[in-house]
Amino acid sequence: MVAQIATASAQMAQFLAENVRFSGNDMILLGSNMIACAFVYYFLRFLKLPDHSWYLTLYSSFVTSFVGLYLFYHVCHDGFTATIDNETDLSRYAAIFFIGYCIMDLFLGSMHYENLLTYDDGWTHHFLYIAVCAYLIHDGLTSLFAIALVEELPIMLLAFHEVQNKQRPSLLFGVLYFLTRIVFHTVLIYKAAQFSTLVFTVGLSLLMLHVKEFQRWVRGYLMRSHGRKRMPFKGKLVLFAMMLAANTMAHAYAAYDLVYTKYTQPPSVPIIVMHATILLIFMYRFGVVVHDVYTQNFIMTSIGRKKIIYNISWEDPAVDHKVMHMNDQDVVLTISSAGCNVLDYLCQGPKKIIAVDMNAAQLHTLELKLACIRALNWEQFFDIWGRSNYKVFTSVYESKLRPLLKPETAEFWDDNHNLFRDNFMYAGTSGLMAKILCFPLRLSGMRRRVMNREQFEDSPGGIFFWLTLKLCSMTFLWSWIAPLGGVPLEQLNLLSRNPEVFADRLVEVLKVRVWKPNNYFYYGYIVGEFAPDCCPRYLEKKNFTNLKKRVDRVDLFHGTWADAAVREGPGSITIASLLDSMDWMPAEMIAENISKVVANMDKEKGRIFWRSFADCVHSPVLAHLDGTLVPDYDRVGWYLTQFIAPTPKNYNPEMIVQKGSGRTFTNSFGADVSVMLAMAKQGLSKVKDVREFYKKQGKNYDGFREALLPARDLFMRHVIPWAKEPKTWISVGCGTARDVEFVVGHVRKCNTKVYLCDLSDALLEMARERVMELGLAPQVVFVEGDINSAAVKKKLPKQADLVTCSYCLTMIPDWKKALKTMSDLVAPGGNLALIDFVTREGRERSWDQRLYKWWFAMDGVFFNKEHRKWLLSNEDYKTVYYAEEEGRVPYTPYRPTHYMFCGEKLA
């Protein structure tokens, strides 16, 4: 590799001398800077500064920043046009200097930090700038480049911190990046457009990259903890909104200045449309940044500041009771939210209710409701919580309610009387969302109709109602509205699987569910208060006496429901009503929480109930609970599915939280190129030699496929039912045994006997090395050959608890026979699990799916929807979990679909 880079560098220098009008002095300067780069690198390495991959970036950005500041002074003094039009020796030397830096960064990086020399920020970036600088030198436009060097200021700041392994600069870096690489860069490329259309086009491409990088910084900044100096949410929102406005004005001015001032002829309509489109694209991209600030901060900021999110609970408890069959011996674990469902359960009379919440404000709300039940009569209770009667609240708070509250709860309500003064029905963020959404409904006359309990008509209120229906079908708007209602973006993303279903459901809510008798969810928000005959069950007069008797059965817990379950102890919980909390959790977090809950459930009487925005079981961890879909009518209608599951039998919850080795594999760009060349050769060859194909890839195999084959860790850790503790496992097409590494803890804990089967002796040799490193040699048997051959079958057990095939079936020509073989190897009650590529269900004939199918087929990977059909329609198996997701192919815009399947063989 080093020799190749040296040869390429020499060839590039020769090319520059012959084709880019490099003089002898230019070549001396180029060579001198390349030597200087080497000296700086090895000198800083001698000083043992920690991160040597940033040495040359620090050197380059330090030099170029001063050149950029000098030219920026001239821009301010002489103007853009005069400065750009005047190429100087300094600007020419700056371009040559940067070419030398790029060459040496690639050269030294290939020797010393190859794995850190990425495709995007290394090879693509450097070759692009070499080409741009060479073009500007050739055309005498290097002043354009030199003026842009002021954009290196934030990079100098970043590099200074990186070489010392210090925490990255936060707000200062972001502001500098915004001012230089977005605002200044925008104005500069429009000024440059009158000199070079190519420079303008390349500048726009770079601007898009800058905005993308700025968005990455914003996301990282929002997730960081800044201690006492942490900027409040409103401050962040205002700051980034001001940035959006500033960038929009700068971009609009620069475009206007170019179109209407600099063109000699009046601009044509296409030119105006083109620049207007460019402006809109960048406004949208920057708007996404502000959207990130909002969606990633709103809910967690509300929790951190102890602000109410939910003023009423939006889960219909009537459905819960139909399937829970709650009785006086039940111990119920649930989420507090606004306390509505907790008190509804209390009407049912369980032995104990543990109300859990991460947001202390929600617990303060429930505690105040409990105090009202203890101290007030029904009329006062309903006036406060059903009508938000501020006069009644103030008349009883100090004398009757406050003495019953914990100090922190009393402090909260001392400061939040205004929630009742301003109508508690619109308190909290969900109340604000309700106010926004109900505004067009009020204009349509719907409030009066709902109050009068009228039936639905086709066009109640005419145009306003029609517009409301249209807005409900625009699911992209919900990403702005949903956080107000306490719906995280992760949960909202579940709708992207089938957005039409959710849009249709919302329209159905407005046309049907809102008008149902006693649908207090919508009555309360649309009218602004509850009515005695249309309210939550805990507000009904007939239930108030029982609530007073049972009020001490509610136990409040500040924390997670998993931690509350651990506190209660094994076998203590009979009902876990987890609402929709798992919608926003990643699989790892769901596993952690479910393991604790199941471990503390009553083994015989326990049942787990949950809701979801998804139209199917969205998590493999939940799929293994084997829940039953609840078909009953839900008055809310937002949740597309609801499930009830008994405490699972033959289920060891400790198994789902075991860990893998934790190792990750990444290749350098050069290593990836070698793999891609092998793949290209294989694709172009008429004779496909699979053994030779893998043998040539050697140690680079895992690093490349880590990104090429997505979700293998999720598949291995959670789609496979480790809670059943499989004792025998056959891995078909095991490759380098990377799959085993994801679940090494599971294999050890279960003492699973593993049979690794593959065609390639080269891959099996790597698999042996890996198994030895993991210390699993006594548990593993290696089988070389075709799974369909009789010789291989003899080496395998007649039946196994688990058979897996990871990204291999699409490479087996006789796939039906292979699936039949794998299926026959599974013991009754055992599991067959596969992950592989497939054309997206319902979109098989679309152009992108056809492209992916053709492209992968060149390397012997054949997408086949019949694989999916065979798995899902096999009468010998019950489908435990099936899902399709997309994953990006490295170095391409391709996003092919992969499926994950787990089936249980019927006895």
Say whether pLDDT at 304 is over 60: no
Instruction: Select from 505, 530, 534 the least CA-distant residue to 517.
Output: 534
Does residue 265 have a pLDDT over 90? no
Closest by CA to 788, choosing from 811, 764, 754, is 811
Average pLDDT for 870-888: 93
For residue 119, what are its two tokens? 């495709």
Dist. CA 735–CA 38, nearest whole Å: 41
pLDDT over 80 at 207, yes or no: yes
- What is residue 767's predicted lDDT score, i.e. its pLDDT? 92
What value, to the nearest 5°, has the Cα angle with vertex 493 and ends 489 and 499? 135
At residue 816, what is the residue type? K
Instruction: Answer whether residue 378 shows pLDDT above 90.
Output: yes
Give the model's confidence band at 1: pLDDT under 50 very low, under 70 low, under 90 confident, else very high.
Answer: very low
- Residue range 421-458, pLDDT digits in tens: 989 988 877 777 777 777 776 776 777 888 887 776 65
The string of pLDDT tens digits covering residues 153-176 is 999 988 888 888 777 667 888 889
Residue type, 168: R
Q: What's the CATH fold of domain 658-905?
A: Rossmann fold (3.40.50)
Tell me the β-bridge partners of 878: 904
Tokens representing 155? Answer: 């990079």
225 pLDDT above the threshold of 50: no
**Amino acid (one-letter) located at 264:** T
- pLDDT value, residue 652: 95
- pLDDT tens digit string along 615-629? 889 899 999 999 999
Residue 464 has pLDDT above 50, yes or no: no
* Residue 264: burial class (beta carbons within 10 Å; 0-12, 13-18, 19+): exposed
Mean per-residue pLDDT for 61-81?
89
Query: Regarding predicted confidence, which is higher, 49 or 604?
Result: 604
- The yes-or-no verdict on residue 10 having pLDDT over 60 is no
Residue 283: predicted pLDDT: 82
Q: Residue 690 and residue 697: Cα distance in Å, rounded?
A: 11
Q: What is the rounded average pLDDT for all residues in the chain?
A: 85
Nearest to 668 by CA among 896, 891, 893, 895: 891
* Phi, psi for residue 449 in degrees, rounded to 5: -65, -40
pLDDT for 14 equals 59
* DSSP 8-state assignment for residue 859: T
Residue 22 has pLDDT above 80, yes or no: no
Q: Cα 21 to the chain's mean position, in Å?
A: 49
807-844 per-residue burial string, b: 16 or more CB within 10 A, e: under 16: bbbbbbeebeebbebbbebbbeebbbbbbbbbbbeeee
Exposed e or buried b for every residue in 710-748, given b needs 16+ CB within 10 A?
bbbbbbbbbbbbbbbbbebbbbbbbbbbbbbbbbbbbbe
Q: Which of 109-113, 255-259, 481-485 has the lowest mean pLDDT?
A: 481-485
- DSSP annotation string for 867-889: HHHHHHH-TTEEEEEEEEEE-PP
The tens digit of pLDDT for each residue in 327-359 reads: 999 999 999 999 999 999 999 999 999 999 988
- CATH, range 317-424+537-650: 3.40.50.150
What is the distance between the terminal CA atoms of the chain, rounded to a whole angstrom? 57
Q: Are 844 and 896 in contact (CB under 8 A)?
A: no
**Would you kindly state where each structural domain of the chain is located, as residue ranges?**
2-169, 317-424+537-650, 430-527, 658-905
Instruction: Please tell me the pTM assigned to this model.
Output: 0.78
Q: pLDDT tens for residues 521-554?
A: 989 888 889 999 999 999 999 999 999 999 999 9
Q: Which helix (H) or strand (E) holds 832?
A: strand 826-838
Tokens 């794998």 -> residue = 822
List pLDDT tens digits, range 788-820.
Answer: 999 999 999 999 999 999 999 999 989 999 999
Q: What mean pLDDT do residues 867-892 have?
A: 92
Q: Which amino acid is at 860?
A: G
Whether 317-424+537-650 and 658-905 share one fold: the answer is yes
Q: What span, in angstroms and rounded, lies between the C-alpha atoms of 871 and 874? A: 6
pLDDT of 408 higher than 80: yes
What local confidence, expressed as pLDDT, does residue 195 receive?
82
Q: Which two tokens stand for residue 898?
A: 């992969």
In whole angstroms, what is the distance from residue 21 CA to residue 15 CA?
A: 10
Q: What is the mean pLDDT of residues 298-318?
A: 73
Residue length of the chain: 907
> Is the predicted pLDDT of residue 223 greater than 70, yes or no?
no
